[in-house]
Structures are given as C-alpha cells and as structure tokens.
Amino acid sequence: MYLSDFDYELPPELIAQQQLSDRSASRMLVFNRAAQRFEDRRFGELPELLHSGDLLVLNNTRVFPARLLGRRRGTRAQPIGKGNPAAHEYLTGEVELLLTRRESADVWQGLVHPGRKIRTGEVLVFGDDELEAEVLDRGERGLRRVRLIPRRGVGSAGADLPASFFDSTGIASRSAPAGTVGPDVDRLIDRLGHVPLPPYIHRADQPQDRQTYQTVYAKVRGAVAAPTAGLHFTPQILSHLSARGIETAEITLHVGPGTFRPVQVERVEDHHMEPETFEISEEAAERINRALSDGRRVVAVGTTCVRTLEHAARAAAGPSDRTRVQPGRGETDLFIYPGFEFRVVGALLTNFHLPRSTLLLLVSAFAGREFVLRAYRHAVDEGYRFYSYGDCMLVL
C-alpha cells in the first residue's frame, strides 16, 4: 500500500486560519457507509443525527502553551574563522523550545529550533531571565531532554519562594524539595508560553487561541495539539445530546507533535507512530464496556479517541469473543490504516485531514479510501473549511 494513494488537491485558501465565532456553526459532511453516499449538514444537527443510546466518547486532554521563545544564554563561545582564532561568536541567538513530554517535575523532552546548533550543556533563557532550560541530552530531529529551572526575580513565578530554594546566583537549587519545582515551572510556562498552533496556520498565536484552541470539556493538562474534532462542541450542544438520551464518556490521550509530522516513507506499512500517553478511567471503561455489551453504538469524537479505544480493546483481548476495553494508563503507538479491524468504534466524528497523513489513513480505514477521497473532492468543490479550525465530517 502506497502513501501516494492517499493524496488530494487542496486550495490553500480553504485552510481555516481562525475558528468561527460560534464554534458549533461549522458545516458537517455526513458519510453513510452502508449507502455509500454523503450529504451536507451542520454540526448543530448532530444530536438529531445520532441515536438515543449511542455513547459519545470525548478526549478531555488540555492543551498547554508549550511553545517557548527565548535565546541562548551565551555562556560559551566558539571560533568563527580558522584564519582568526581570536575571533569568536557568543551563542546568544534566538531559540524556540516546544515542550512535548514531561519526565519529572522539572525534566522535559522537547523539540529545539534551530536543532543542530543546540548542544548538551547549553542553557536557554526565556522571559526576563525568569526561566532557564539546561540541555541534558540530544536526540534525533531536534529532540532534547531539558531541565527547566525557575530563576528568582521581580515578576517571576519564583519571586515568592523562600531564599533557601535558590542558590547564590538566583537559580532554583537542584536539591529543591520535591513538589516545589513542578508547580512553579508550570506557572512560568503558562505565562511565558505560546499556544502551539499547527504549522499550516500561518499567523502568530493570539490571546483568544488559549480558549478557541481548546475543547469546552478539556480537563487534563498535557497536549501540544488539540483533539480538533471536539472544538465544535458547546455546553448547549452537550446538553442537547444528553436530553436526546446520548451518553458520554471521557478518556484522555495527550496529543503529541507527531500528529503534524509528515510520513517519511512511501510504503504505508513501513511507517511507525510516535507513542502518546493515554488514560482510561474505571468509570469510562465501565460505560464503554456496558455500551458494547448492550449492542449500542460507540461514537468516537476524533482520531485520538479511535486510537485509544482500539488500543485498549487489544490490551484487554482474551479467550472470550466479547470485546472489552481495558482501563488504565499507558502509551499507544497504534497505527491504523486500511485493512484494520475495528472492534469498538461504530461511528466517527472528525475534521478534514492533510493529504498523505496518518489521520487520513485512519479515516480511510474506517470508511474506505475511494469513498473518503470522493467525499473530500466534494468538500473542496463546496468550499468546506479544512484542518484544525475547519469544518467536520460524521462517518456513520
């Protein structure tokens, strides 16, 4: 199976750059897999299009302002010319750090740009010398392990901490008491960080993105990208769904930067997904398993829910033929492409996805490649808005 089989032409002007003022006013292309037809509807009609007894599964991950813009500390120098060894440049250039995964209270994995120049031992500075990132290790494609260090100073989140928390230079001590560094670092990230908008949104983040690039039911901090199918929901829509007898369950999958990375191989089967952290509570698993036992439809809101649910079903697989979902925390690198056997998901709400992407492959696995690409051509012809802030589709 070849990646080129999942391509389509998209005029750039159809890529949405802002969310609608009423997030529930998006258009919705409804796929009927059995009849092999689709129709143009509105997202506000979702409660009427679902059945009483359906279980709607939502991803309650919360995006945090993971993009930090700063500079190199400049504590080192390097020669800039062989002919003049006395001439040096001090490493003080601008730098960007995208936090991707937390390892401990103050140690993170992150993507650094420019990646090739940042070496182990360097220090990056953010804000008014309020937060430092010490580079601990180098990885591939710009990945680094960094230790985030609050600095004591006027206006910093560490200003109210006791003097014993800091060393003689005003930097947080490496032996600071457990539990004190993490919350302070989080406050600094929240104040200094930028919303990590997708690369196809060609503008700087704006204050309102902190609300618009977030679902109304977001709770669990940890994502660097929004589960965008959920951006269309409002409290009113959720109330309407409940009144119609449509149950909901919340699970968590922290969306990582891999969702935006292009597939680098031409043969689909050679691609490997980057692992992402998920959690399914006992309560959510009980609701999902009860719906499966009753023969009620499980409707996944977004590809992140699909991957989490199908991973959890495989983790719980046993001698019984009955499909169940295993509660718990873990990581999933499940890659779904045509030929995949869906065990849990019976319907899918999702946005329109990039050509040649793993997300388009997943939708094609669920609805059929030719049918999906035909519907995408229709969406282009009808001027639908694409990608994160765009319109959506409901696959039944």
What lies within 8 Å, CB to CB, of 353 at 6+ separation is 303, 359, 360, 363, 387
Whole-angstrom distance, CA of residue 203 vs CA of residue 191: 20
Packing angle of the helix pair 358-367, 369-381 (nearest 10 deg): 110
| Structural domain total, the chain | 2
Q: Could you count the other beta carbons within 10 Å of the beta carbon of residue 352?
A: 27
Mean local confidence (pLDDT), 252-256: 97
Report the pLDDT value the prediction gives residue 275, as an integer from 0 to 100: 93
How do residues 163-176 score in pLDDT, each as one tens digit? 444 444 344 444 44
How do residues 258-273 score in pLDDT, each as one tens digit? 877 889 999 999 999 9
**Same domain as 253, residue 184:** no
Mean local confidence (pLDDT), 331-338: 97
3-state secondary structure string across 235-271: HHHHHHHHHCCCEEEEEEECCCHHHCCCCCCCEHHHC
**Same domain as 260, residue 175:** no
Residue type, 114: P
**Same domain as 384, residue 251:** yes
Reply yes or no on whether the pLDDT at 222 is more than 50: yes
**Same domain as 57, residue 174:** no
**Same domain as 108, residue 169:** yes
Whole-number average pLDDT of the chain: 89
Whole-angstrom distance, CA of residue 372 vs CA of residue 360: 9
The CATH number covering residue 296 comes to: 3.40.1780.10
Structural domain contains residue 200: no
Structural domain contains residue 356: yes
Structural domain contains residue 201: no
Is 0.85 surpassed by the pTM of this model?
Answer: yes
Structural domain contains residue 78: yes
**Same domain as 179, residue 42:** no
The CATH number covering residue 89 comes to: 2.40.10.240
- Domain containing residue 18: 3-63+207-395
**Same domain as 213, residue 94:** no
Structural domain contains residue 361: yes
Contact call for residues 136 and 120 (beta carbons, < 8 A): yes
**Same domain as 361, residue 221:** yes
Counting Cα atoms < 13 Å in the Cβ hemisphere of 339 gives 5
Whole-angstrom distance, CA of residue 266 vs CA of residue 4: 7
Whole-angstrom distance, CA of residue 94 vs CA of residue 105: 26
Residue type, 40: D
**Same domain as 56, residue 76:** no
Mean local confidence (pLDDT), 285-303: 98
| pLDDT level of residue 49 (50, 70, 90 thresholds) | very high
Structural domain contains residue 199: no
**Same domain as 250, residue 331:** yes
Whole-angstrom distance, CA of residue 111 vs CA of residue 124: 13
In this prediction, what percent of the chain has a pLDDT beyond 90?
79
Mean local confidence (pLDDT), 200-211: 97
**Same domain as 97, residue 33:** no
| pLDDT level of residue 317 (50, 70, 90 thresholds) | confident
**Same domain as 112, residue 59:** no
| pLDDT level of residue 321 (50, 70, 90 thresholds) | low
How do residues 75-109 score in pLDDT, each as one tens digit? 554 555 555 554 444 456 899 999 999 999 999 99
Structural domain contains residue 197: no
What lies within 8 Å, CB to CB, of 236 at 6+ separation is 24
